[in-house]
């Protein structure tokens, strides 16, 4: 069986930056509180006329260009998102049209912050099984549309963005060498989207009932640390590797303190974790995809490195992949 790996990466981030100081003018918070509790300094906010699919398309076009595969030869498109333009058509179908991937099958995956890894493993299985030769995997969120901008407990945490990769056959022994996916539905009420009415961020929009995120941060924190540590261990076990074999961990960027706690639990030095949360906050499914893009762009990833991708998200869902670069 051919090894399946990443042929090209892409990303797309909205221009608009919302800093902690900007948030100080919106809710009762401070740069000091946000920085010490989360590590976040600023995040990106998509414009009103910039739907999720436009971010997804931007990331997809860059990943396709970097992959050496023509858009019309893409056979499968999977978009991980919990903030699609609308219930349907799927963001994947909107991207298919925008990039001209006429031959592709296309669908969305909903696994919150674990979406990118759920989509990656799903696509890999299609390729490993021989149904498709390549796949475009995108994680794209306009999650700030789901935020209650009066709730300081959640509005400081999130940002918009998209990352993408093209998967295909790679050198033997390289690529995605193991996968772990898990769900614990019993923790579903720790974070959810409810719809019992709130004020929109932009008062000019005449929306009176908007869905928004509610979260039990403290409880989620504990489950997050345990499930991320477990996911890495399980994926390593499947790969026949140990923690000392890992050159880089690219974790979901929900909170710098969660990453510190995971590093401590696994006894892996935090310097081996790639962190960009200070710039973008939590971009849900898109966080790992954008972090992976930046790790490669910055030359942190070297050919032959073992990389652990690990995440948790609302559901609760967790996942990890070990990739040999
Ligand atoms: N600014 C100032 N004060 C605040 C803010 C804020 N933005 N938010 C909360 N506070 C206050 C609270 O009201 C509380 O005040 P009180 O003591 O007077 O009641 C105090 O700060 C402490 O609040 P806690 O919620 O206990 O703060 P905690 O240290 O737990 O940090 C945080 C909160 C950052 C949310 C943390 O719990 C966390 O990161 N949890 C995990 C969240 C997460 O991972 N979410 C996403 C996961 S799933 C996914 O990614 C889709």
Burial 280-313 (b: 16+ CB within 10 A, else e): bbbbbbbbbbbbbbbbbeeebbeeeebbbbbbbb
> What confidence tens digit (pLDDT) does each residue in 208-260 have?
567 889 999 999 999 999 999 999 999 999 999 999 999 999 999 999 999 99
The residue whose CA has the least distance to atom 20 of ligand 1 is: 153
Whether 38 is in the pocket of ligand 1, judged by its Cβ within 6 Å, is: yes
Q: Is the pTM of this model over 0.85?
A: yes
Contacts by residues 306-309 (CB-CB < 8 Å, ≥ 24 positions apart): 306/239, 306/241, 306/245, 306/246, 306/247, 306/248, 307/246, 307/247, 307/248, 307/249, 307/250, 308/232, 308/235, 308/236, 308/246, 308/248, 308/249, 308/250, 309/116, 309/117, 309/120, 309/249, 309/250, 309/251
Average pLDDT for the chain: 95
Predicted confidence pLDDT, tens digits, the chain (325 residues): 579 999 999 999 999 999 999 999 999 999 999 999 999 999 999 999 999 999 999 999 999 999 999 999 999 999 999 999 999 999 999 999 999 999 999 999 999 999 999 999 999 999 999 999 999 999 999 999 999 999 999 999 999 999 999 999 998 889 999 999 999 999 999 999 987 666 666 666 555 567 889 999 999 999 999 999 999 999 999 999 999 999 999 999 999 999 999 999 999 999 999 999 999 999 999 999 999 999 999 999 999 999 999 999 999 999 999 999 9
Of 30, 32, 217, best ligand 1 pocket probe by most atoms within 8 Å of the beta carbon = 217
pLDDT digits (tens, 9 = 90+) for 250-267: 999 999 999 999 999 999
- pLDDT of 200 reads 63
Helices first, then strands: H and E counts in the chain: 10, 13
Dist. CA 23–CA 33, nearest whole Å: 11
Residues 6+ apart with CB under 8 A from 240: none
- Does the active-site annotation cover 155? no
| pLDDT at residue number 172 | 87
252 is known as an active-site residue = yes
* Residue 2, pLDDT score: 76
Q: Which residues contact 210 (CB under 8 A, 6 or more apart)?
A: 195, 197, 198, 200
Of 66, 255, 282, 321, which is the active-site residue? 282
Domains within the chain, CATH numbers bracketed: 4-171 (3.40.47.10), 177-324 (3.40.47.10)
Report d(CA 269, CA 284) in Å as an integer: 24
- Tell me, in angstroms, the distance from the centre of ligand 1 to residue 153's CA: 5
């Amino acid at each position: 069986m051919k090894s399946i790996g990443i042929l090209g990466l892409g990303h797309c981030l909205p221009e608009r930056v919302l800093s902690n100081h900007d948030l100080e003018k919106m809710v009762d918070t401070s740069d000091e509180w946000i920085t010490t509790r989360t590590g976040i300094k600023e995040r990106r906010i998509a414009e009103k006329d910039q739907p999720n699919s436009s971010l997804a398309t931007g990331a997809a076009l860059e990943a396709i260009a970097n992959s050496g595969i023509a858009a019309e030869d893409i056979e499968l498109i999977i978009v991980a998102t919990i903030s699609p333009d609308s219930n349907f058509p799927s963001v994947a179908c909107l991207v298919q049209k925008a990039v001209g991937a006429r031959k592709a099958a296309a669908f969305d995956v909903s696994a919150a912050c674990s979406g990118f890894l759920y989509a990656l493993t799903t696509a890999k299985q299609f390729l490993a099984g021989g149904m498709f030769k390549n796949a475009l995997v995108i994680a794209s969120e306009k999650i700030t549309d789901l935020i209650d901008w009066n709730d300081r407990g959640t509005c400081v945490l999130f940002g918009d963005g998209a990352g993408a990769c093209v998967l295909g056959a790679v050198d033997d022994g390289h690529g995605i060498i193991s996968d772990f996916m898990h769900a614990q539905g019993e923790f579903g009420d720790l974070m959810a989207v409810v719809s019992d009415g709130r004020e929109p961020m932009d008062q000019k929009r005449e929306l009176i009932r908007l869905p928004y995120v509610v979260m039990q941060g403290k409880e989620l924190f504990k489950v997050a640390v345990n499930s991320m540590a477990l996911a890495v261990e399980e994926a390593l076990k499947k790969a026949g590797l140990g923690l000392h074999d890992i050159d880089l961990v690219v974790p979901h960027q929900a909170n710098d303190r969660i990453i510190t706690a995971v590093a401590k639990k696994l006894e892996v030095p935090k310097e081996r974790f790639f962190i960009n949360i200070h710039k973008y906050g939590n971009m849900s499914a898109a966080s790992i995809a954008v972090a992976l893009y930046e790790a490669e762009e910055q030359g942190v990833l070297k050919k032959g490195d073992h990389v652990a991708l690990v995440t948790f998200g609302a559901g609760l869902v967790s996942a990890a992949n070990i990739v040999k670069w």
